[in-house]
Structure 1
Amino acid sequence: MGENLGALIRSVRCYLRLSQTQLGQACGYSASAISRIERNKMCPNPGALRLMADRLGIPHERLRGGSVPDVMQVATVAVSRPSDEEDAVRRRKLLTGALAAGATAVVGAETAPAAASPGGGLDDALFRLPPAEPMPLPRLAEGAAKALAAFRAARYSDLERTLPGLLAAAEASRDAASGRAREQVCGVLARSYVVAAELAAKQHSDVGWVAADRALSAARAGGAPVPIGEATRVLAITMRRSGRWSSAVRLLSREASELDIEQDRTGAVRTTLLLTAAYSAATGGDRGTALALLEEAEEHASRLPGVPGLFTVEASQAQVGVYRIGVFNALGTPDEGVKVVTGLDFTSLPTAERRARAWTDTARMWHALGDGRQTFAALRRVEQEAPQEVRRPALRALTSDLMYGPVRLQGLREFAARTGALA
């Protein structure tokens, strides 16, 4: 990455009053990853770089390798967010000055207000839930079940609209309850926040930290081991996504050790924690730990053939296979996943979200192996299973990579336009 590329990205982002979270949502990165890119500590992949350029209005060639000129000094002030037309004019002026003269860093960048996140109702709601009245426990549980069903079906836009009201009602019901009733409401509240954390992860939003922390607090207040395990898992995912993979592995391993393996439900939760820990270890390059955790999870899953999916991830042999593909991808040995994909029964995965995730990992595997046709075929299967899943930033970046790849693929341009990868 060019010496001054991070400064250019940061300067344009701040000039447009975009937060690091907003820019990350456009290209499949977390806010912390954008921060590392802007400090020239991390090099984004080509697909993500093109999406970043599109969001910032920077010509692609300006972000493609080599050094770029320093960005002109720009004073940012607290004013209302400019229109799209004004954005375009500002970008042209900024880039013209940057490329012609070169200058210094941004002045006052940290004080510029961030614009509202596009479609980021969940982000806003988690910090200010809408007013709500307490709700009877059966109705609250029904609302949580519907939210979970929406997530499993990958209806993320529906979920984003309904979750704030559910969380607000659950919070109000928790505050109004006492004794055993309060513990039960806490369990429902915890699971609602788990879904919120899962949705935030899909959106590459750092607000997942908030949802996961609240989920675990509510779960511990309720005292039931299954919600505690589920909340621990989403908290570990946020830790891993911020680069703290070893802390995530320790948290998951410790919680798994406290669950009773002999009971079906707690045993199944333990298996899902081990799977998440295996993938977390793989993202840190710890092959030995990752494979050992996978083997342990597979052994446990073989003992629970009759236990269905408990929450967002089920304990099954097929699920172990999906995680095994992801682990090999993360370890940089995608060729080891080919045999797993060949033997994987995708139809045995019970939800659209899980089937889409399996095809996503398969697409990443083929992409890493340089097989564009197989990558595109897998992406189309993702779309068939869950149309909203394929519009996620990470998958748009993958599609964008294919667009600029050496092989011309019939239908790819239409697919890219349909899924938002083609600006």
Structure 2
Amino acid sequence: MRVELPSGKPAPLRVLASKTASAREAFTAARYNDLGSSLPGLLSAAEAARDAAAGQARGQANAILARAYVLASELAAKQHSDAAWVAADRALAAARASGMPIPVGEAARVLAITMRRSGNCSSAVRFLTTESDVLDPAEERTGAVRTTLLLTAAYSAGAGSDRATALALLDEADETVERRPHAPGGLFTVDATKTMAAVYRIGVLNTLGTPDEGVEIARGLNIDLMATPERRARAWTDMARMWHALGDGQEAFAALRRVEQEAAQESGGLRCGR
């Protein structure tokens, strides 16, 4: 699938970095219409800046471009658009060209989501575990990214009905979160926290067809601790799926109301990407 961008002129890297941070804020605040309006211009300017740069500046430009394409893939996944795959592929190419492990990890995660959504669950798991193996778990930032890859791999394994692998990956992610309970923020969409890991476990149990195993976890979960409206809406979506599968329409409806309160522009509700 081709994704055409408007022609753009290179902008200073500090300007592009600021605009990319603003775009991320729009995504995490679930202002998807605002993000959709700003992304084409941001991507074209970032590509122009990358093409005009050399040396260290080119690496920095590629990192910014990768992050912008990660956001484009995240948004396309929300909209159930095939453009998510193209954007994720471009994100990973730019991230690898940057030579920076954190953008590579962020891009790998969104590409794996597109793989899982297309039915290639086992391939997504293999890809994510391979990428996580090259990240240093002892270093704070790369260790946090590694945890997010493990969580996404667990969800992919669950979607592929591989219970043993899914639970093993969740346990590994839990261990890393326990060692680093206050992981730094700023990662795309998913932060490595105990609350995030618990929400993922509930989502995995839903996909495995055993939502009853998530009830006790849900009872002790404080979704308000999650940092962004987008993630809180995602968590309440998992709660709604769990209660619906268990036949509790009242709890499911209450959870869906929370989704609407947190993120009115959240599209697709029960089918959002991870």
With the shorter chain as reference, the TM-score category is over 0.9
Identity of aligned residues (%): 66
- Superposed, 1:61-210 pairs within 5 Å as 127-210=3-86
- Name the CA distance, whole Å, in 2 between partners of 1:380 and 1:394: 11
Write 1 or 2 for the structure with the bigger share of helix. 2
- Name the CA distance, whole Å, in 2 between partners of 1:345 and 1:195: 27
Which residue does 2:262 correspond to in 1? 385
- Name the CA distance, whole Å, in 2 between partners of 1:153 and 1:340: 26
- Name the CA distance, whole Å, in 1 between partners of 2:153 and 2:9: 38
- Name the CA distance, whole Å, in 2 between partners of 1:160 and 1:191: 15
Which residue does 1:237 correspond to in 2? 113
Counterpart of 2:198 (choices 289, 296, 321) is 321
- Name the CA distance, whole Å, in 2 between partners of 1:329 and 1:265: 29
Q: Secondary structure at the match of 2:189?
A: coil
- Name the CA distance, whole Å, in 2 between partners of 1:323 and 1:289: 14
User: CA 1:313/1:147 → structure 2, altered by over 3 Å: closer, same or farther?
Assistant: same
Q: What is the CA-CA distance between 1:311 and the residue it aligns to?
A: 2.2
Paired residues of 2:178 and 2:194 also in contact (CA < 8 A): yes
Q: Secondary structure at the match of 1:127?
A: coil
Paired residues of 2:46 and 2:64 also in contact (CA < 8 A): yes
Counterpart of 2:154 (choices 268, 271, 278) is 278
Q: Secondary structure at the match of 1:259?
A: coil
- Name the CA distance, whole Å, in 2 between partners of 1:349 and 1:355: 6
Counterpart of 1:225 (choices 90, 96, 101) is 101
The number of aligned residues is 271
Alignment RMSD (CA, Å): 1.4
Q: Secondary structure at the match of 1:336?
A: helix
Q: What is the CA-CA distance between 1:306 and the residue it aligns to?
A: 2.3
Question: Could you report, residue by residue, the CA deviation over 1:107-142 in whole angstroms, capped at 9, with x for unpaired residues?
Answer: xxxxxxxxxxxxxxxx9xx72111210000000000
Q: What is the CA-CA distance between 1:308 and the residue it aligns to?
A: 2.7
Q: Which has the higher contact order (CA 8 A, sep 6+)?
A: 2
1:349 correspondence with 2:241: no
In our comparison, the structure showing a higher alpha carbon Rg is 1
Q: What is the CA-CA distance between 1:347 and the residue it aligns to?
A: 1.3
Counterpart of 1:337 (choices 204, 214, 217) is 214
- Superposed, 1:389-404 pairs within 5 Å as 389=266, 392-395=267-270
- Name the CA distance, whole Å, in 2 between partners of 1:240 and 1:313: 17
Paired residues of 2:241 and 2:270 also in contact (CA < 8 A): no
Give the structure-1-normalised TM-score.
0.63
Question: Could you report, residue by residue, the CA deviation over 1:81-110 in whole angstroms, capped at 9, with x for unpaired residues?
Answer: xxxxxxxxxxxxxxxxxxxxxxxxxxxxxx
Which residue does 1:368 correspond to in 2? 245
Q: What is the CA-CA distance between 1:394 and the residue it aligns to?
A: 4.2
Paired residues of 2:237 and 2:269 also in contact (CA < 8 A): no
Q: What is the CA-CA distance between 1:305 and the residue it aligns to?
A: 1.9
1:260 correspondence with 2:136: yes
Question: Could you report, residue by residue, the CA deviation over 1:320-370 in whole angstroms, capped at 9, with x for unpaired residues?
Answer: 011001000000001111111111111110000010000000000011111
Unaligned runs of 5+ in 1: 1-122, 397-423
